[in-house]
Amino acid sequence: MVGPATVAFDITAVTVSTAVPGAAWALWFALAWRRPEFAESLGLGRMGFWLLLPGALLASFALLPITPVSNDLLAVSFAGAVFPLAVGLLTLERFAPPLRRSVVRLIVPLASETLVLLGLVLLADAGVLDGVASGLGLAVGAAELLVVGVTAAAWTVAFVLFAPGARDASGRAVAGVFALTNGVLVLTFVGAVAIPGVGISEGFPYYLLPPMLAGVVAVLAAPRLFPRAEAFALPASFLAGGWGVVLGADVLRQPPLYGSGGPVGLYAIGGAGVLDLVYLSGFLGLIAAWGAHRLLGRDETPVGAPLAATPPAPSALIRRAYVRGLDGELGASLTDSALAVRSGALQAHRLLGRPDPPPGRPWDGLSVPGWVVADTANLERAARDGTADPREAVRSWLTARELVRLAGALSRPRFASIGERLVAFLIDAALLGLVGGAVFAVIVLATPGGLVAVLSSIAFNAAIYAMVALALLYFALGELWTGATVGKLVVGIEVRDRSLGSVGGLAALVRNAPLLPAMTFYALGLSIAVAVSLRGYGPGMTIAGLGLLAGTLEVVSLALFVVVGVAFAGGLGVIVMRLTAERQRIGDLWAGTWVVRRVTAPRGPPTAAR
């Protein structure tokens, strides 16, 4: 009979586990939207929110196989592991610059330490530590925990005392993160268990303890660990929480999952997606750190080096001016209207490859009618003088809206057309399809049995996940390294930020996350079509072992599935591009990016369409 205490405990565990993701997302949203400058200065801004909430949900089918282990296959989930771990590392750019050096300083010693710890765990599993345990009067499991804990502690002390550059501000911050990560690693290793055929589990409420304790310790030790600013304890807690759990559980507790003699399995680090502890632990550390930060009454003003100014979007300024006018803030509405016009004119200069105009003369160098200059001057005067007349504020807003539209008409030739972007995507999709189709064909031909055996094989399903993941990497890395994929290079377009600079790694991931549903349709349909083509739809349908002519109807149906699925996902992007003044799809709006033609400026003076 189950007692009331057990029922109450189970209900509490389920409730908390269900509530944690929502609380984590609400926290990041509050931080990024209610304290935007503060959040951006910590590396925890809005792009991180877009990647870790909708981006992670869309990446559910993106698993990247790493290596075969015994008869099983180990993979890593983009949603549950890659995205949160990458966001954590990118925060180093803010609290331990420069980014590349700090990433190397942190990852290299963590990787070497983990290899040593993994070797010790393997020795323990092989029974080598049994003699040590009996000599110390310890149980075998306790000896393993002791060895891992002592080794991690020694590694941490050695890193803090002897690591190159550990005395400067960035080096001290990296050393602090290293120590916090090792603390989470050891505590997670203590509480995690490997269940063959299932994966790695950590019980409630223990799994809350390691990352949240790291968050509290980070805030208390912030004056010494983060000399640049105590608030950097927040991103450090997010980083240490995620990396400590992935190393302490998903790496060090992996060996018992293999060699059990059971059926072949696909084990994914972060495989539970947004419900995985790797994903949630960074958030738990951040929740605890922000709570402790606020309880101690510490400042929430922007910290660290000044952020590069991002040109404001004229359309966003016009919307803000409208909202402020409705709220009765007439002076602020006039100011935003004037700012929107200046921003639109300046944006036109930059997109057309013209030098920035002199102050107070935003339309110099652009071919516009004289009334544009006069209306802009009147709008600037009204913004300086202010008004208490709602009709004056409305007239100014309407004038500003038309001038912003005019600036957009001047800028529009630089933006890539929907047709150009579609052609580029089709070229990229064809390249991915050729590679993916070849891999699927090899797997199908190498798998014994009929179609059912192929479709249920681990290798075949892992290849589907891998194609989705590699498609994301193809788009993101191409735009990060060169600003374009192969398709974009052929068409002559590229991805840029709002300053026409190169996109960063986080922006590249964020803007391409919405492509994942289309890539999922593509990978599913292509894989099954290849399997049906080569193996036949049923018994007796295979021709010469290849089945090239078998299942034609099924292949056509699957092709329609791919076309309809990709077209539906892509159609939403086309609709958004049609509705936005700068031809941005959802990913561009999240990441603050443009897709522009490579030419710097059209010949002759630009003219506005009327």
pLDDT band per the 50, 70, 90 thresholds, residue 548: very low
CATH of the domain at 328: 1.20.120
Residue 163 in this model has a pLDDT that exceeds 80: no
Better-predicted residue by pLDDT, 8 or 189: 189
Residue 555 in this model has a pLDDT that exceeds 70: no
pLDDT band per the 50, 70, 90 thresholds, residue 12: confident
Residue 253 in this model has a pLDDT that exceeds 60: yes
Let me know if residue 376 belongs to a domain. Answer: yes
Give backbone dihedrals phi and psi of 301, rounded to 5 degrees, phi first: -85, 160
Let me know if residue 305 belongs to a domain. Answer: no
As a whole number of angstroms, the distance between CA 579 and CA 387 comes to 33
**Helix 140-162 × helix 99-125 angle, to 10°:** 160
- Tell whether 502 and 581 lie within a shared domain: yes
Let me know if residue 306 belongs to a domain. Answer: no
- Tell whether 400 and 428 lie within a shared domain: no
pLDDT band per the 50, 70, 90 thresholds, residue 139: low
Residue 1 in this model has a pLDDT that exceeds 60: no
Let me know if residue 301 belongs to a domain. Answer: no
Residue among 482, 429, 76, 376 nearest 254 (CA): 76
- Tell whether 566 and 586 lie within a shared domain: yes
- Tell whether 446 and 409 lie within a shared domain: no
Better-predicted residue by pLDDT, 3 or 243: 243
Q: What is the pLDDT of residue 140?
A: 58
Q: Which of 234, 267, 295 is the last residue of a domain?
A: 295
Average pLDDT of the segment spanning 511-528 = 90
State which H helix or E strand residue 243 sits in. helix 233-245
What are 432's two structure tokens? 């991915």
Average the pLDDT over each of 111-115, 484-488, 553-557 and give the range with the smallest value: 553-557
Close Cβ partners of 226 (under 8 Å, ≥ 6 residues apart): 95, 172, 173, 176, 232, 233, 236
- Tell whether 356 and 497 lie within a shared domain: no
pLDDT band per the 50, 70, 90 thresholds, residue 550: very low
- Tell whether 151 and 217 lie within a shared domain: yes
Residue 311 in this model has a pLDDT that exceeds 90: no
Residue among 607, 41, 34, 56 nearest 352 (CA): 607
Q: Which of 332-336, 388-392, 552-556 tops mean pLDDT?
A: 332-336
- Tell whether 478 and 584 lie within a shared domain: yes
Let me know if residue 507 belongs to a domain. Answer: yes
- Tell whether 367 and 499 lie within a shared domain: no
Let me know if residue 319 belongs to a domain. Answer: yes
Q: Which of 350, 380, 413 is the last residue of a domain?
A: 413
Residue among 159, 180, 189, 330 nearest 256 (CA): 189
Render 507-557 in DSSP notation, one character per residue: HHHHHHGGGHHHHHHHHHHHHHHHHHHHH-SSTT--STTT-TTTTHHHHHH
Let me know if residue 603 belongs to a domain. Answer: no
The model's pTM:
0.89
Question: Range of 554's domain?
Answer: 415-597
Residue 200 in this model has a pLDDT that exceeds 50: yes
- Tell whether 540 and 504 lie within a shared domain: yes
Q: What is the pLDDT of residue 476?
A: 96
Residue 610 in this model has a pLDDT that exceeds 50: no
Better-predicted residue by pLDDT, 195 or 407: 407
- Tell whether 233 and 373 lie within a shared domain: no
Percent of the chain scoring above 90 in pLDDT: 58
Q: pLDDT tens digit string along 33-64?
A: 999 999 999 999 999 999 999 999 999 889 99
Residue among 449, 433, 441 nearest 548 (CA): 441
Average the pLDDT over each of 88-97, 444-453, 531-540, 551-560 and give the range with the smallest value: 551-560
- Tell whether 385 and 281 lie within a shared domain: no
> How many other C-beta atoms are found inside a 10 Å radius of the C-beta of residue 91?
24
- Tell whether 401 and 422 lie within a shared domain: no
Average pLDDT of the segment spanning 122-128 = 76
Let me know if residue 155 belongs to a domain. Answer: yes
Q: Which of 261, 295, 329 is the last residue of a domain?
A: 295
Query: How many domains is the chain partitioned into structurally?
Result: 3
Residue 504 in this model has a pLDDT that exceeds 80: yes
On whether the CB atoms of residues 347 and 402 are closer than 8 A, the answer is: no
Residue 463 in this model has a pLDDT that exceeds 50: yes
pLDDT band per the 50, 70, 90 thresholds, residue 110: very high
pLDDT band per the 50, 70, 90 thresholds, residue 535: confident
* Secondary structure of residue 35 in the 3-state scheme: coil
Residue 601 in this model has a pLDDT that exceeds 90: no
Close Cβ partners of 247 (under 8 Å, ≥ 6 residues apart): 110, 114, 181, 185, 188
